[in-house]
Amino acid sequence: MAAAIEKKDNNIVVLTIDIPPEEFSEALKRSFIKNSSRFNVPGFRRGKAPMAIVTKYYGEGVLYDDAIDLLATPAYAEAVKEHELDPVSRPDMDIISISREEGLRFTVTITVKPEVKLAEYRGVEAGKPEFPVTEEDVERDLKRVIERNARLIPIEDRAVMDGDTVNIDYEGFLNDVPFEGGKGEGYDLKIGSKTFIPGFEEQLIGKETGEEFALDITFPEDYNSEELKGKAVVFKGKVNGIKVRELPVADDDFARDVSEFDTLAEYRDSLRAKLEEGAQHRADASFEDNVVRAVVEAAEVDIPAIMIENEVERMVDEQRNQMRYQGIELEQYLQYVGQDLNAFREQLRESAETRVKTSLVLEAISKAEKVEATEEEITAEIERMATMYGMKAEDLTERLADSESGFVSEAVITRKTVELLKENAKAIPVAAHDHDHDHDHGHDHDHGHDHDHDHGHDHDHEHGHDHDHEHGHEHEADSDDN
């Protein structure tokens, strides 16, 4: 086999591959053996005619398809290896000439991974925000703990007020007929939580324990049920009980109850230490993002359109899988938010391009720096992944196919490359309010892929607190924590 290469614009490569006559003749024989039972030549029993008779009767071309299948794939793979190519598209094959006497000549057109022109990536300057921890931050965290430990205390000496938690039975009626999903018994509802549709909670204010009610409610025009949107209904029910939240006193006893510390002062110090640790992590993550962004933006690379398209589709697939985990199809969700799939793809395109470029640049740096993953590092990465997925490392190792084990190695190499960039970068202190804190810059340092794309959306579309489509309420609010 011989393979000539021609490089064209836009990272397109054309391979011209020649299979000599002797190899092609052997492939024709194998094709004949495979298909002999199909041939029915007059004067011979089916499948018993010699190859020479079959090719004379049917023509030699009857054996070409399988002969090409036998030769083309391994020849293409060998040519790619010989010329050290990294294809990013499916091969497009064209037959140039084919015969027993001349052999097989064909071309394969592919798009290959582009070359990256790196700028100076050692010693880049990047902003590192400072997140000072204030006394107000400590007080806010302490308040959260206090509220999480609040108790609901039954009261009987007054009517319902805003902020109370009421236990109710209720049933909704449309035109005096109960509607599906509109009934609940013994339900604890925090007044003011906006758990139920507008008007429901407000009309319970002033009711007393044991009092029955009939609430006139109109469902919003944009409600998710066609049967109920914009409709006037009546909710009938009863107030079973009223509870108020009682907050614990923040003192030494409270500190001992919720922590390992003996005094409130010690507990406050521990809260501050955790906040400072978190602030340092945020600063480090921001600095890392800024370093990578600076290096990537300074590099030059002509990204093939197919790579961006592939990344967009991969992101769509990830989002689809994530939605299914939430119990909803992606198309159904997009319809809910008034968007179609094509618009969603376009929304992802800029992020996809950034992620592809990030991946290419980090890969180029890892090769330039000869960054490698040791067996110990790969094992540690698998253990980390297993912990994250709640699996045993041995089970995850067994489930990883060869290609996926390569993925683990790439993850280690990418992480080490980012660490190399960060260690050699110069941090420029910047105020926290001058920096974007969300660290979502279109790339993830594990191979340039970001595996969690919430896009700022809320994926809980059940419109109720218990996913059974009850129509009295819309979102669940946390009654114990903010």
DSSP letter string, 61-72: GGGHHHHHHHHH
Q: Determine the pLDDT at residue 445.
A: 53
Q: Which two tokens stand for residue 299?
A: 């590099």
Amino acid residing at 201: E
Q: Determine the pLDDT at residue 372.
A: 95
CA gap 26, 71 in Å, rounded: 10
For residue range 385-416, list pLDDT tens digits in order.
Answer: 889 888 888 888 877 765 556 789 999 999 99
| Best CA proximity match to 447, nearest among 303, 299, 292 | 292
Q: Determine the pLDDT at residue 450.
A: 39
Q: Which two tokens stand for residue 478?
A: 């946390």
CA gap 243, 150 in Å, rounded: 12
Amino acid residing at 227: E
Q: Which residues of 152-173 are buried (b: 16+ CB within 10 A; e: fewer)?
A: beeeeeeebeeebbbbbebebe
82: enclosing H helix or E strand: helix 64-82
Helices (H) and strands (E) in the chain, counts: 13, 13
Mean pLDDT, residues 180-204 = 94
Residue 12, strand partner residues: 111
DSSP sequence for 215-243: EEEE--TT-S-TTTTT-EEEEEEEEEEEE
Instruction: Name the DSSP class of 337.
Output: T
Q: Determine the pLDDT at residue 454.
A: 36
Q: Which two tokens stand for residue 374?
A: 């040791």
CA gap 121, 296 in Å, rounded: 9
How far are the Cα atoms of 365, 373, 382, 395 from residue 389, in angstroms, in the given order?
30, 22, 10, 11
Mean pLDDT, residues 462-468 = 35
The answer on pLDDT for 460 being more than 90 is no
Q: Determine the pLDDT at residue 262.
A: 97
Q: Determine the pLDDT at residue 149.
A: 96
The answer on pLDDT for 438 being more than 50 is no
Asked if 266 contacts 255 with a C-beta cutoff of 8 angstroms, the reply is: yes
Residue range 151-246+462-482 forms a domain whose CATH class is alpha beta
CA gap 124, 429 in Å, rounded: 14
Asked if 326 contacts 316 with a C-beta cutoff of 8 angstroms, the reply is: no
The answer on pLDDT for 311 being more than 60 is yes
CA gap 345, 350 in Å, rounded: 10
Three-state secondary-structure class, residue 179: strand
Cα pseudo-dihedral 166, 167, 173, 177, rounded to 10:
-170
The answer on pLDDT for 452 being more than 90 is no
The answer on pLDDT for 465 being more than 70 is no
Same fold, 2-112 and 151-246+462-482: no
Q: Where are the domains of the chain?
A: 2-112, 151-246+462-482, 274-434
For residue range 100-139, list pLDDT tens digits in order.
Answer: 999 999 999 999 999 999 999 999 999 999 999 999 999 9
**Backbone conformation region of residue 74, classed left if phi is above 0, alpha if psi is from -120 to 50, else beta:** alpha
The better pLDDT of the pair 297, 468 is held by: 297
Architecture of the domain defined by 274-434: Orthogonal Bundle (1.10)
For residue range 213-242, list pLDDT tens digits in order.
Answer: 999 999 999 888 888 999 999 999 999 999
Q: Determine the pLDDT at residue 350.
A: 96
The answer on pLDDT for 439 being more than 70 is no
What pTM was computed for the model?
Answer: 0.70
Q: Determine the pLDDT at residue 244.
A: 96
The answer on pLDDT for 477 being more than 60 is no
Window from 169-178, 322-331, 461-470 with minimum mean pLDDT: 461-470
Residue 428, strand partner residues: 127
Maximum C-alpha span of the chain: 108
Is domain 2-112 in CATH 3.30.70.1050, yes or no? yes
Asked if 381 contacts 408 with a C-beta cutoff of 8 angstroms, the reply is: yes
Three-state secondary-structure class, residue 311: helix
The answer on pLDDT for 468 being more than 50 is no
Mean pLDDT, residues 285-294 = 97
Instruction: Name the DSSP class of 94.
Output: E
Q: Determine the pLDDT at residue 175.
A: 95
Q: Determine the pLDDT at residue 447.
A: 42
Counting beta carbons within 10 angstroms of the beta carbon of residue 357, is it exposed (0 to 12), middle (13 to 18) or buried (19 or more)?
A: buried
